Amino acid sequence: MISFINDYFYHFQVAPEAMDYLWNEGWRHFGSYFYRYSILQELPQKHVMPLRMQLDAFKESRIHKRILKKNEDLRVSIVPAFVNHEVHQLFDNHRARFTTNIPESIYVFVSRQPATVPCECLSVCLYKADKLIGISYLDLGSAACSSVFQCFDLAESHRSPGIFMILQSIYWAKAKGMQLYYPGYAYHEASYYDYKKRFSGLEYFDWQGSWLKLE
């Protein structure tokens, strides 16, 4: 039985090797606010499951191949992280997915200097013709990378854009020779975030210092 963990700190600039260490210890961040907690103190209570992927163990599933086929008409652009008017509009549309703790702005999740604070970060962008329909923020460490937040046009939900952006992040990380990809938290209990568990090569943090294979 693990003890309750609830830690946080603020840091403006973190080196790539330090980001690798923090992710390995179950830390996440929104902007310069770093946090980790083992239990979601809401009803019903949920037990937090930090996830990471051993990139050399990842294999596409049949579902992934269908999603890739469905999105062949989209243009993918991976560039230094940014927030502009299009992103604000996309975020305002995406906020409809939240039923509690509705965020006021995209800056709840990323800093106002998203490309460099608190670490190097990329935007994984999806364009339908010239319209931005999805964006994901991908932090870079030394041997690992981590998705921070993503949002998309809810009218395009049939495309499974969230999974598609995770796949694009995985392909980019593998091409760069990275070892680990962190898709973020899920819960041991069933939740909206269960889609993050449906990838091969996954491990979860047991809050006692070990990463265990997710069956």
Q: Quick: pLDDT tens for 15-49.
A: 999 999 999 999 999 999 999 999 987 778 899 99
Assess if residue 194 is contained within a domain.
Answer: yes
Mean pLDDT of 78-106: 89
CA distances from 126 to 26, 49, 75, 152, 167 (A): 29, 28, 6, 9, 12
pTM: 0.95
**β-sheet with 28-30: strand ranges across:** 6-10, 33-37, 28-30
Least confident of 37-41, 78-82, 121-125: 37-41
Quote the number of domains for the chain. Answer: 1
Read off the pLDDT band of 127 (50, 70, 90).
Answer: very high
- C-alpha 142: how far from chain center: 17
What are the φ/ψ torsions at residue 194 (nearest 5 degrees)?
Answer: -60, -25
Mean pLDDT of 191-200: 93
Assess if residue 165 is contained within a domain.
Answer: yes
Mean pLDDT of 98-126: 91
Assess if residue 1 is contained within a domain.
Answer: no
How far is it, in rounded angstroms, from Cα 128 to Cα 133?
A: 7
Please say if the pLDDT value at position 203 is more than 50: yes
For residue 159, the domain's CATH number is 3.40.630.30
Assess if residue 36 is contained within a domain.
Answer: yes
Please say if the pLDDT value at position 215 is more than 50: yes
Assess if residue 27 is contained within a domain.
Answer: yes
Least confident of 33-42, 94-103, 137-146, 163-172: 94-103
Read off the pLDDT band of 80 (50, 70, 90).
Answer: very high
> What tokens were used for 22?
């923090």
* 8 Å CB contact between 175 and 207: no
Least confident of 19-28, 98-107, 166-175, 186-195: 98-107
pLDDT computed for residue 161 by the predictor: 96
How far is it, in rounded angstroms, from Cα 48 to Cα 40?
A: 7
Please say if the pLDDT value at position 69 is more than 50: yes
pLDDT computed for residue 2 by the predictor: 47
Please say if the pLDDT value at position 1 is more than 60: no
| Full residue range of the structural domain in which residue 22 is found | 6-213
pLDDT computed for residue 117 by the predictor: 96
CA distances from 152 to 97, 131, 164 (A): 10, 11, 11
How far is it, in rounded angstroms, from Cα 19 to Cα 7?
A: 16
Mean pLDDT of 190-212: 95
How far is it, in rounded angstroms, from Cα 116 to Cα 184?
A: 20
> What tokens were used for 151?
């949002």
pLDDT computed for residue 103 by the predictor: 84
By residue count, the chain amounts to 215
Higher pLDDT, 137 or 99: 137
Tell which residue, 169, 175, 192, 191, has the closest CA to residue 183: 169
- C-alpha 37: how far from chain center: 17
pLDDT computed for residue 3 by the predictor: 55
